């Protein structure tokens, strides 16, 4: 469609433009985790979907940046979770640390570097979340998006780190490198290509696999609409792709947007119909500068990134079908077909496992003969009579393996009906829950069920091949027994019993725990009171050092008592592993236990992780300056929201923004200031 013209009414807007989208500690699939401290940010809202991305390996990640005067809470109502679940996309919405103007992302000031300010924080956030195994994020599916100031900052960050960000979503953002005056007035021309490439420096080669979506509301009278095409054409020039003829309408019910594409899906340009200067959240979206007038941009980005991502391996590997295995008289004759939609099948590997033992034991591996049409065949060596699991996996000429296929076959005559055998039974106790697991093998291949009987009820076990497991909770304390019964379709069964002990803990309010000596007024009381108040809570005894024990509250390890002699002369149980920041690294081994940093990056090797190290690249000379908050802001040592001043880097509140409030700031690393004097 034709480029939209800038409205003359934008001069009445008294604030700098607003923006972006938003997408907590322990990972919680299908819920928002709010105000998580991670990646150098104090507050990040994170939504982790229960779904996986349909491409690549794991989930995608979309980081969304807010706009001026816009709190990140607004994005909790922007329908981001809808897109997250649709496309298996973790969504993270950080609150800027180094704000400028009216709480904007400071795209027009400061050093544009991978190691500076919030550019560094965003890269750290992306890498930290990608390295968090609990979130299962594919590093080839990491994207960044934003609205207005957040859009400009997202675009700049994607140019600085094209190796980190596989794609960007830029909505109503002034072009990179433009001034703050260019936000609300006439269009400010920018050589997007030259600036983006200069920001990337030695990382420019990664533009070959980056993609971009650029959008703008056609009713936006705040930020000049000229930037939509200027940004789209600029990124297309970076990628070296040409614009395709025509445009198409993207519809979500009555909501629409006009889409123009560039070659190979590398760039898209959207006009959000009827949208003002807001994040386009689609049906159900609401809030300040969050609009339901047009399509859900986050969902559009999920589809666009999924369809056009240049980095994921879309080779699915060969598919095996018609797998069969038949007794040829002392062995198995195996055959099947392997096909590959993208490349050529190179080989088919076969593994033979005996199911007559628990766990199954591998008895033979070999490569099958493969014909040009994909048919394969092979014979095993002589095998003892019994039941076998035949597993086949094909690999293509790019060394990509497909999914393993298996089939069960017998050598020799069918044995007489025999009850299933149970072996390797074990129990794992956590609190008042117990998991019983083991193996159940039926030589007749007609196992029908495994039931585990606990003192407070029977549980039908989950069965996976020959393995079973069953969990029961709310078990009473003391000595316990669980009986495993495996049955087959001929009503034959066998049983095995295992004994274990459950620590039911002690439940009561803080007065009871003080009375029993679990905590003391000077050791544990304040932490437990802050955690539970006057409510009852459960504490259990865990082993500490030197054959002593410590009482620790369920779900709140900060509530704990003194190390003391163990009750009944035993040495207690193993203490629960503590992981305060939920990054998968226990506090005892975490170089930054209160801020998530799964990568444990420590540039200067001082034992303090980069995300919580004020000088991650080593100590530097400290300099301090005492002056008014007004002059601190003017000199770039601080930022302001118009009312208060904040130290650049640390974000500490310095008080009122005026010429009378005096503050001493110390610079302990380049562009990182804290309140106080140098040592």
CATH of the domain at 60: 3.40.50.1820
Contact present, 294 and 255 (Cβ < 8 Å) = yes
**Does some domain include residue 6?**
no
DSSP bridge partners of 423: 439
End-to-end CA distance of the chain: 62
**Res 604: pLDDT:** 64
Number of H helices, E strands in the chain: 9, 41
Residue 8, pLDDT above cutoff 60: no
For residue 32, the cross-strand partners are 47
What does the alpha-carbon distance between residue 5 and residue 534 come to, in Å, rounded to a whole number?
Answer: 63
14 pLDDT band (50/70/90 cuts)? very low
Q: Is 537 helix (H, G, I), strand (E, B) or coil?
A: strand
What burial class does residue 381 get, using C-beta atoms within 10 Å of its C-beta: 0-12 exposed, 13-18 middle, 19+ buried? Answer: exposed
d(CA 98, CA 652): 10
Both 296 and 230 in one domain: the answer is yes
Same domain, 251 and 400: no
Which string of DSSP letters, residue by residue, matches 142-153?
EEEEEETHHHHH
Residue 629 host element (H or E): helix 629-634
63 & 199 share domain? yes
Identify the band that residue 54 occupies on the pLDDT scale cut at 50, 70 and 90.
very high
- Last residue within a domain, chosen from 308, 328, 347: 308
Instruction: Give the residue among 389, 377, 365, 364 at the shortest CA–CA distance from 338.
Output: 377
Q: Return the higher-pLDDT residue of 577 and 69.
A: 69
**Residue 569 neighbours by CB distance under 10 Å:** 7
Identify the domain boundary among 540, 565, 590.
Answer: 565
The pLDDT assigned to 292 comes to 94
pLDDT at 364: 96
- Residue 22 domain-assigned (yes or no): no
SS3 at position 177: coil
Task: Please check whether residue 637 lies inside any domain of the structure.
Answer: yes
Residue 176 lies in a domain: yes
Asked if residue 335 belongs to a domain, the reply is yes
> Is 538 within the bounds of a domain?
yes
Domain count, the chain: 5
Q: What is the pLDDT of residue 614?
A: 58
Lowest mean pLDDT among 213-217, 408-412, 479-483, 563-567: 563-567
Same domain for 123 and 269, yes or no, is: yes
Residues 514 and 464 in one domain: no
Q: Is residue 346 part of a domain?
A: yes
Task: Tell me whether the omega of the peptide bond preceding residue 486 falls within 30 degrees of 0, making it cis.
Answer: no
Q: What is the CATH number of the domain that holds 370?
A: 2.60.40.10
Residue 19 lies in a domain: no
State whether 49 and 80 are in the same domain: yes
Among candidates 386, 424, 423, 381, which has minimal Cα distance to 408? 386
Residue 615 has pLDDT above 70, yes or no: no
- Say which range, 292-296, 430-434, 454-458, has the weakest mean pLDDT: 430-434
Residue 41's CB is within 10 A of a number of other CB atoms, namely 24
107 falls in which pLDDT band (50, 70, 90)?
very high
* Residues 43 and 36: beta-carbon distance below 8 Å: yes
Extract the runs of DSSP E, i.e. beta strands, from 196-355.
211-217, 248-252, 255-261, 267-272, 279-280, 290-291, 319-327, 332-339, 345-354
pLDDT grade, residue 613 (50/70/90)? low
pLDDT class of 78 with cuts at 50, 70, 90: very high
Distance from C-alpha of 591 to C-alpha of 182, rounded to nearest angstrom: 43
Instruction: Say what the pTM is.
Output: 0.57
Same domain, 449 and 559: no
What's the farthest any 2 CA atoms get from each other in the chain?
98
pLDDT recorded at residue 658: 78
Judge whether 216 and 279 are in contact, CB under 8 Å. Answer: no
Q: What is the pLDDT of residues 638-657, one digit of tens each?
A: 888 777 788 887 778 888 87
Interhelix angle 192-200/226-239, rounded to 10 degrees, is: 50
CA-closest candidate to residue 271, choices 217, 206, 341: 217
Torsion of CA 537, 543, 545, 547, to 10 degrees: 130
Structural domain range at position 641: 623-675
Same-domain status, 302 and 335: no
Report d(CA 496, CA 451) in Å as an integer.
Answer: 11
Residue 568 has pLDDT above 90, yes or no: no
Per-residue pLDDT reduced to its tens digit, 419-431: 999 998 999 887 7
User: Predicted confidence band at 6 (pLDDT cuts at 50, 70, 90)?
Assistant: very low
**Are the beta carbons of 390 and 332 closer than 8 angstroms?**
yes
**DSSP three-state, residue 675:** strand
515 and 551, same domain (yes or no): yes
Does residue 428 sit in the same domain as residue 324? no
Indicate whether 494 and 511 sit together in one domain.
no
User: What are 18-32's pLDDT values in tens digits?
Assistant: 333 333 334 545 778
pLDDT in tens, 397-420: 988 899 899 998 999 998 999 999
Q: What mean pLDDT, rounded, does the chain reach?
A: 87
The total number of residues shown for the chain amounts to 679
The residue out of 411, 436, 460 marking a domain boundary is: 411
464 lies in the same domain as 524: no
Which band of pLDDT confidence, cut at 50, 70 and 90, is reported for residue 512? very high
């Amino acid at each position: 469609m034709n480029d939209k013209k800038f409205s003359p009414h934008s001069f009445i807007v008294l604030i700098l433009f607003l923006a972006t989208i938003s997408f907590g500690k322990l990972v919680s699939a299908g819920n928002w985790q709010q105000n998580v401290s991670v990646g150098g940010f104090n507050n990040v809202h994170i939504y982790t979907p229960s779904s996986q991305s349909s491409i690549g390996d794991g989930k995608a990640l979309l980081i969304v940046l807010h706009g001026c005067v816009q709190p990140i809470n607004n994005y909790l109502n922007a329908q981001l979770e809808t897109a997250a679940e649709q496309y298996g996309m973790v969504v993270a919405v950080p609150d800027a640390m180094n704000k400028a103007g009216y709480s904007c992302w400071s795209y027009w000031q400061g050093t544009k570097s991978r190691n500076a300010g919030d550019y560094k924080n965003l890269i750290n956030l992306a890498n930290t979340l990608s390295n968090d195994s609990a979130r299962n994020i594919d590093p080839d599916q990491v994207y960044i998006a934003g609205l207005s100031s957040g859009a400009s900052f997202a675009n700049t960050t994607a140019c600085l780190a094209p190796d980190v960000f596989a794609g960007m979503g830029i909505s109503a953002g002034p072009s990179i490198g433009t001034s703050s005056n260019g936000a609300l007035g006439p269009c400010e021309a920018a050589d997007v290509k030259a600036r983006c490439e200069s920001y990337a420096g030695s990382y420019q080669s990664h533009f070959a696999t980056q993609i971009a979506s650029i959008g703008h509301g056609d009713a936006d009278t705040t930020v000049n609409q000229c930037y939509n095409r200027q940004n789209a054409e600029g990124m297309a020039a970076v990628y070296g792709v040409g614009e395709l003829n025509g445009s198409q309408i993207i519809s979500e019910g009555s909501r629409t947007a006009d889409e123009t594409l560039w070659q190979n899906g590398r760039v898209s340009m959207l006009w959000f119909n009827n949208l003002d200067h807001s994040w386009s959240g689609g049906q159900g979206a609401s809030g300040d500068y969050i609009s339901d007038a047009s399509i859900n941009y986050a969902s559009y980005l999920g589809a666009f990134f999924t369809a056009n991502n240049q980095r994921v391996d879309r080779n699915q590997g060969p598919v095996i079908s018609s797998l069969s295995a038949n007794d040829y008289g002392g062995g198995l004759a195996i055959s099947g077909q392997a096909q590959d939609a993208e490349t050529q099948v190179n080989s088919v590997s076969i593994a033979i496992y005996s199911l007559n033992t628990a766990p199954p034991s591998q008895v033979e591996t070999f490569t099958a003969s493969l014909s040009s049409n994909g048919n394969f065949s092979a014979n095993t060596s002589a095998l003892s009579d019994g039941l076998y699991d035949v597993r086949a996996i094909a690999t293509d000429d790019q060394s990509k393996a497909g999914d393993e296929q298996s089939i069960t076959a017998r050598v020799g005559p069918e044995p007489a009906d025999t009850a299933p055998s149970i072996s390797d039974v074990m129990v794992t106790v956590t609190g008042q829950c117990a998991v019983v697991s083991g193996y159940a093998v039926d030589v007749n291949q007609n196992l029908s069920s495994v039931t585990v009987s606990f003192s407070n009820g029977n549980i039908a076990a989950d069965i996976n091949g020959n393995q079973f497991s069953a969990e029961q909770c709310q078990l009473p304390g003391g000595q316990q027994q669980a009986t495993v019964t495996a049955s087959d379709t001929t009503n034959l069964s066998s049983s095995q019993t295992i004994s274990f002990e459950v620590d039911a803990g002690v439940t009561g309010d803080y007065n009871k725990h003080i009375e029993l000596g679990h905590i003391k007024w000077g050791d544990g009381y304040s932490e437990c009171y802050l955690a539970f108040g006057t409510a009852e809570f459960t504490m259990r005894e865990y082993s500490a050092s030197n054959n002593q024990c410590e009482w620790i509250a369920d779900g709140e390890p900060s509530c704990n008592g003194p190390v003391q002699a163990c009750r009944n002369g035993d040495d207690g149980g193993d203490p629960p592993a503590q992981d305060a920041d939920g990054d998968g690294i226990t506090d005892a081994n975490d170089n930054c236990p209160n801020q998530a940093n799964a990568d444990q990056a420590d540039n200067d090797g001082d034992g303090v992780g980069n995300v919580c190290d004020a000088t991650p690249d080593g100590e530097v000379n400290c300099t301090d300056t005492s002056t008014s908050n007004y002059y601190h802001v003017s000199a770039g040592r601080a930022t302001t929201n118009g009312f208060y001043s904040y130290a650049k880097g640390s974000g500490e509140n310095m008080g009122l923004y005026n010429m009378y409030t005096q503050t001493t700031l110390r610079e302990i690393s380049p562009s990182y200031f804290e309140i106080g004097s140098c040592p």
